[in-house]
């Protein structure tokens, strides 16, 4: 057979094991790169590298080992592969990412020497890409010195030496100068301590008027300030609320709290709490306000910001809480924001309105806050505004000193990224986090919580922390140092040409036909994250810095929306809530828009080019719609390669497996085919692949994901697939068939009995045990497994699967009842439970109720397989083993019970002996 010149590695092989291994360390997971700029749902850098390499290279002798080494971070291997790519393409192939996010895929394409291009609808994401993979890959060696003296106090995390890149040393200088200017501008509102230091931070709380007595009181969710720590003889600190007449105050005491919070869930006794929180007035009336009542007060404008405490630093890291000095309270109250000078077309404090109905993303909007500037108290917003002013002033002085506009833009953009990262520790969504234990047995460090409660929403707190202009976690100095450190590591290891980033709509690509060698992309994940809404807070601050410095991203022409925020109508996601005035982003919109984007990818691809899509989602519907979009756009899916990336990457993400999908443009003139023909081809293709996958170490679960590729490749060979009833076979049919074929191809047998001869419930449960054991499985994956045996999740929820917020776990407890229609797996569970509680006679009575032969080979095969799958130490495994040893006795007793039942039946035909 003549080799296919257009076939690439992605079509037949992917370094799954190397990606999985690389994601377990900081280099392969991309944690360093992700620390540079705040963005969402980024896949590990090892997976991006593997996707780019396999989309460009064909199968060659020895290439697998070289790719594995490159994925694991071997720089020599990366350089060798880069040379191979250059030789194959006669220069630099063009690699395009149409949903580039923070720029991981373009970064890896640029590292290989490709012409890397990243597009994203969000200007915030586009800026992230430039900071990651454009500016640090340029040569800045001819730039003039910065106009400020070299700093004596560079960030402590930066150890400069002769090898320190020019960009890094200048950034340390630039960020330090910004910090000095910001501190000088805000100092009068942050009185210093007697020793000349600034307090690390300040605790604030919102107060409301009581509906019972009319007095104002603060909403405090915790009175613990610092946990005790026996090792250092630290008693800890707590807040005490002091009530005097019609007013309240606070004190700081040693030890654990003596009072209950004023805002918390209600105690019901026995350690239980009522779901939801309420606010209790600390005055004698003790009136309790429901959460809805508290919210309504915010909407009515009845909230008031109250400065509660100051927080100093003692030693290197100990936070010490204290009451305010009079001048500190007076300074905070003297601030007037109305006279602040704005920035070009924008006000000094963001007055852009938070979109209506957006409470699930910007949670503060559900409590009456209407603009993005209101997500901070006035003094926080003032400190940010003066930081913006300092950054812009430093940029202007750089230009005056002879720096090129490009270099000034690079330094300023990183400073803007630093301000965006500081937002995560500096709003109403950030509280004091007192780590440790109340009994003093654990380290008691104090931190600021993250604004992002998860990647999909911005948190809101009634009591929050404001970090000051000095030193410590969450301050400008700290955030600067924490950004310089990973950026220094990143810049030192870079090779290749700068990637290009452009804000653009993936549904209308700004490139000519057949101009791209490969499209490698990581599309938005269905309904997981509303990217623009989640990043609008960053956007409104970034544009105040960069409106005339990165004008293609942030000037008034770039911001084409009426509300001054990011474009959301063209965002390819499923929105959980439809908002008035916006395009309805439902499932059909997602699929249709994704199809349009993929059609644009097909248009710009060269004839032999590949589209590679990285995707991860636990919902089967999301998978079906992604694959349908690819098919509708005219692509044939050639492969799908699972990587276990997320748990190693973040430790908290719900997706444990992401899949890299290889695609080629569908050929013209495809013929129709019958379902019988296609079903056989799919089964044959998967059977052949399973042998290879097993040899390569892919687990059954991974093989089921990988089976989508060959199934969809066969499905895509034909214009239509016609079923016996004349209907067109759906794509979903072949997703289910792919999984079933893996199970059949593995020759799964129980005691030499083919799995297909068992009932559907038993097939489902046995295969679940083989793939997942007793671990908790994501709900989407559970639905996938159920579909293999034409079951709905409701068919197995409850009696067979235990449901939690994280997913489903297979139950081995006895089912609620057994009868003649029960599945073999249910009877096996019932026998185990009965034997454990009552021995052979009780187990025999269960078996007799089943009304099938006591020696039914299917049942005893399930018992044997279940005992083999469980660890020997498992109690159920021990019971099943004992049951097997006493099987003869159980069968004999069960047969006797059955015979006795027959003999006692009134419907039994009389015999001579009965008369």
Which residue has 């601030």 as its token pair? 335
Q: Which are the contacts of 683, defined by CB distance < 8 A and separation ≥ 6?
A: 737, 741, 744, 745
At residue 5, the pLDDT reads 61
Q: Which residues of 124-147 are buried (b: 16+ CB within 10 A; e: fewer)?
A: bbbbbbbbbbbbbbeebeebeebe
What tens digit of pLDDT does each residue of 761-802 get? Answer: 988 888 888 878 888 887 877 887 887 788 888 888 888 999
Coil vs helix vs strand at 782? helix
Is residue 503 pLDDT above 90, yes or no? yes
Neighbours of 163 (CB within 10 A): 6
Q: Burial of 588 by CB count in 10 Å (0-12 exposed, 13-18 middle, 19+ buried)?
A: exposed
Least confident of 33-42, 56-65, 260-269, 565-574: 260-269
Contact 893, 857 (CB under 8 A): no
- Look at 905 and 683; give whichever has higher pLDDT: 683
Separation between Cα atoms, residue 144 and residue 391, nearest integer Å: 19
Average pLDDT on 190-195 reads 95
Separation between Cα atoms, residue 328 and residue 194, nearest integer Å: 12
Q: Largest Cα–Cα distance of the chain, in whole Å?
A: 120
Assigned token pair, 195: 């020793």
Domain ranges of the chain: 9-134+498-530+571-664, 187-488, 667-747, 772-915
> What is the value of pTM for the model shown?
0.85
Contact 557, 345 (CB under 8 A): no
Assigned token pair, 72: 């694991």
The candidate with the shortest Cα–Cα distance to 651, out of 23, 16, 19, is: 23
Is residue 2 pLDDT above 50, yes or no? no
Which residue has 């490709």 as its token pair? 114
Neighbours of 409 (CB within 10 A): 19
Q: What are the φ and ψ backbone dihedral angles of 529, each rounded to 5 degrees?
A: -140, 130
Phi-psi region of 450 (alpha: psi -120 to 50; beta: other; left: phi over 0): beta
Which residue has 């009068």 as its token pair? 188
Neighbours of 456 (CB within 10 A): 18
Phi-psi region of 520 (alpha: psi -120 to 50; beta: other; left: phi over 0): beta
Strands 807-810 and 801-804: antiparallel
Assigned token pair, 84: 């191979």
At residue 904, the pLDDT reads 53
Separation between Cα atoms, residue 372 and residue 540, nearest integer Å: 8
Separation between Cα atoms, residue 75 and residue 56, nearest integer Å: 18
**Residue 639's pLDDT band (boundaries 50, 70, 90)?**
confident
Assigned token pair, 435: 């780590």
At residue 557, the pLDDT reads 79
Question: CA–CA distance from 402 to each of 97, 141, 283, 431, 493 (Å)?
Answer: 35, 14, 64, 43, 28
Indicate the fold that domain 9-134+498-530+571-664 takes in CATH.
Rossmann fold (3.40.50)
At residue 865, the pLDDT reads 83
Give all strands (DSSP E) within 461-508, no chain letters: 463-467, 500-503
Separation between Cα atoms, residue 495 and residue 497, nearest integer Å: 7
The candidate with the shortest Cα–Cα distance to 110, out of 552, 434, 668, 490, is: 490
What tens digit of pLDDT does each residue of 834-876 get? Answer: 998 888 888 888 888 888 888 888 888 888 888 888 888 888 8
Q: What is the mean pLDDT of the chain?
A: 87
Neighbours of 202 (CB within 10 A): 22
Is residue 749 pLDDT above 80, yes or no? no
Contact 133, 554 (CB under 8 A): no
How large a percentage of the chain has pLDDT more than 70?
92
Specify the DSSP class assigned to residue 323.
P
Assigned token pair, 119: 């597009």
Which residue has 């960069």 as its token pair? 546
The β-bridge partners of 267 are 273
**Residue 447's pLDDT band (boundaries 50, 70, 90)?**
confident
Q: What are the φ and ψ backbone dihedral angles of 137, each rounded to 5 degrees?
A: -100, 5
Separation between Cα atoms, residue 52 and residue 70, nearest integer Å: 11
What tens digit of pLDDT does each residue of 258-292 get? Answer: 999 999 876 544 555 556 789 999 999 999 999 99
Specify the DSSP class assigned to residue 6.
T
At residue 674, the pLDDT reads 93
How large a percentage of the chain has pLDDT more than 90?
52
Separation between Cα atoms, residue 755 and residue 299, nearest integer Å: 61
Question: CA–CA distance from 442 to each of 232, 317, 433, 772 (Å)?
Answer: 11, 15, 14, 35
Q: Report how far Cα 415 is from the mean position of its chain's Cα atoms.
A: 26
Is residue 653 pLDDT above 90, yes or no? no
* Long-range contacts formed by 826-829: CB under 8 A, 24+ apart: 826/761, 826/799, 826/800, 827/859, 828/859, 828/862, 828/863, 828/866, 828/880
Contact 73, 13 (CB under 8 A): no
State the DSSP H helix or E strand holding residue 895, giving kind and residue range, or none if neither.
helix 887-904
Strands 201-209 and 304-314: antiparallel
Q: Report how far Cα 358 is from the mean position of its chain's Cα atoms.
A: 20
Measured over the CA atoms of residue 872, residue 877, residue 879 and residue 885, the dihedral's sign is negative
At residue 275, the pLDDT reads 60
- Look at 257 and 907; give whichever has higher pLDDT: 257
Q: Burial of 56 by CB count in 10 Å (0-12 exposed, 13-18 middle, 19+ buried)?
A: buried
Is residue 626 pLDDT above 50, yes or no? yes
- Look at 161 and 481; give whichever has higher pLDDT: 481
Coil vs helix vs strand at 650? coil
Measured CA angle at 9 (ends 5, 11), to 5 deg: 85
* Long-range contacts formed by 348-356: CB under 8 A, 24+ apart: 348/385, 348/544, 349/373, 349/381, 349/382, 349/385, 350/540, 350/541, 350/544, 352/536, 352/540, 352/563, 352/564, 352/565, 353/563, 354/536, 355/533, 355/563, 355/565, 355/568, 355/579, 355/582, 356/579, 356/580
Is residue 578 pLDDT above 80, yes or no? no
């Amino acid at each position: 057979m003549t080799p296919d010149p257009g076939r690439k590695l992605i079509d037949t092989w992917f370094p799954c094991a190397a990606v999985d291994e690389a994601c377990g360390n900081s280099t392969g997971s991309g944690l360093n790169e992700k620390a540079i700029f705040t963005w969402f749902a980024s896949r590990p850098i090892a997976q991006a590298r593997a996707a780019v390499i396999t989309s460009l290279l064909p199968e060659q002798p020895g290439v697998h080992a070289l790719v594995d080494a490159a994925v694991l971070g071997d720089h020599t291997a990366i350089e060798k592969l880069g040379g191979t790519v250059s030789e194959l393409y006669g220069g630099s192939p063009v690699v395009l990412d149409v949903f580039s996010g923070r720029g991981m895929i373009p970064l890896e394409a640029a590292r290989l020497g490709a012409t890397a291009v990243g597009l994203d609808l969000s200007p915030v994401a586009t800026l992230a890409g430039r900071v990651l993979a454009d500016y640090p890959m340029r040569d800045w060696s001819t730039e003039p010195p910065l106009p400020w003296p070299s700093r004596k106090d560079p960030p402590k995390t930066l150890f400069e030496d002769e090898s320190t890149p020019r960009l890094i040393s200048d950034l340390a200088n630039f960020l330090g100068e910004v910090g000095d200017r910001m501190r000088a501008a805000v100092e009068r509102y942050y009185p210093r301590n007697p020793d000349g230091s600034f307090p690390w931070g300040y605790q604030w709380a919102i107060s409301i008027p009581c509906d019972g007595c009319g007095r104002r009181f603060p909403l405090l969710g915790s009175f613990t300030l610092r946990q005790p720590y026996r090792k250092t003889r630290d008693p800890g600190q707590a807040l005490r609320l002091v009530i005097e007449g019609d007013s309240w105050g606070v004190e700081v005491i040693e030890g654990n709290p003596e009072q209950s919070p004023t805002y918390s869930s209600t105690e019901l006794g026995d350690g239980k709490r009522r779901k939801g929180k309420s606010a209790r007035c600390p005055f004698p009336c003790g009136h309790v306000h429901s959460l809805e009542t508290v919210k309504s007060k915010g909407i009515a404008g009845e909230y008031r910001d109250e400065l509660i405490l100051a927080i100093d630093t003692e030693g290197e890291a100990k936070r010490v809480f204290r009451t305010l000095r009079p001048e500190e309270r007076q300074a905070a109250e003297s601030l007037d924001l109305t006279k602040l000078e704005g920035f070009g077309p924008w006000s000094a404090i963001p007055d852009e309105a938070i979109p209506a109905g957006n409470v699930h993303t910007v949670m503060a909007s559900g409590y009456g806050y209407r603009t993005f500037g209101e997500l901070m108290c006035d003094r926080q917003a003032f400190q940010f505004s003066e930081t913006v002013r300092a950054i812009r002033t430093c940029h202007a002085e750089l230009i005056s000193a002879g720096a090129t506009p490009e270099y000034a833009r690079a330094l300023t953009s990183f400073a803007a990224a630093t301000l965006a990262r500081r937002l995560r520790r500096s709003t109403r969504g950030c509280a004091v986090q007192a780590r440790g234990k109340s009994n003093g047995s654990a380290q008691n460090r104090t931190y600021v919580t993250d604004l992002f409660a998860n990647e999909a929403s911005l948190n809101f707190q009634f009591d929050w922390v404001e970090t000051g202009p000095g030193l410590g976690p969450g301050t400008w100095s700290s955030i600067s140092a924490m950004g310089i450190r990973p950026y220094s590591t990143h810049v030192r290891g870079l090779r290749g040409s700068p990637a290009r980033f452009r804000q653009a709509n993936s549904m209308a690509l700004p490139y000519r036909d057949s101009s791209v060698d490969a499209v490698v992309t990581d599309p938005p994940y269905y309904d997981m994250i509303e990217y623009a809404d989640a990043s609008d807070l960053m956007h409104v601050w970034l544009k105040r810095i960069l409106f005339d410095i990165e004008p293609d991203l942030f000037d008034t022409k770039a911001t084409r929306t009426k509300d001054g925020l990011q474009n959301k109508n063209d965002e390819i996601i499923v929105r959980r809530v439809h908002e008035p005035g916006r395009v309805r982003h439902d499932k059909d919109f997602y699929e249709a828009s994704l199809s349009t984007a993929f059609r644009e990818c097909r248009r710009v691809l060269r004839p032999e080019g590949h589209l590679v899509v990285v995707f991860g989602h636990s919902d089967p519907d999301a998978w079906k719609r992604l694959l349908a979009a690819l098919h509708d756009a005219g692509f044939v899916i050639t492969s799908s390669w699972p990587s276990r990336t997320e748990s190693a990457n973040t430790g908290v993400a719900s997706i444990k497996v992401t899949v890299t999908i290889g695609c080629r443009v569908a050929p013209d003139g495809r013929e129709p085919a019958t379902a019988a023909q296609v079903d056989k081809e799919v089964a044959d293709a998967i059977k052949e692949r399973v042998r290879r996958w097993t040899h390569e170490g892919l687990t059954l679960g991974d093989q089921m994901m990988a089976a989508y590729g060959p199934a969809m490749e066969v499905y895509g060979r034909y214009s239509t697939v016609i079923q016996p009833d004349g209907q067109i076979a759906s794509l979903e049919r072949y997703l289910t068939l792919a999984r079933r074929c893996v199970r059949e191809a593995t020759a799964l047998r129980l005691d030499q009995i083919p799995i297909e001869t068992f009932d559907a419930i038993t097939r489902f449960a046995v295969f679940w045990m083989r793939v997942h054991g007793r671990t908790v499985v994501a709900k989407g994956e559970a639905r996938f497994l159920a579909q293999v045996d034409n079951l709905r999740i409701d068919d197995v929820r409850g009696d067979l699967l235990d449901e939690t917020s994280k997913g489903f776990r297979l139950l081995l407890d006895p089912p609620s009842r057994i009868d003649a229609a029960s599945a073999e797996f249910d009877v096996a569970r019932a026998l185990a439970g009965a034997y454990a509680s009552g021995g052979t006679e009780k187990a025999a009575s269960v078996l007799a109720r089943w009304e099938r032969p006591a020696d039914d080979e299917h049942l005893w095969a399930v018992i044997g397989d279940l005992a083999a799958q469980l660890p020997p130490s498992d109690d159920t495994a021990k019971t099943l083993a004992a049951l097997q040893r006493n099987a003869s006795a159980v069968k004999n007793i069960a047969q006797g019970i059955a015979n006795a039942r027959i003999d006692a039946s009134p419907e039994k035909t009389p015999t001579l002996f009965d008369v």
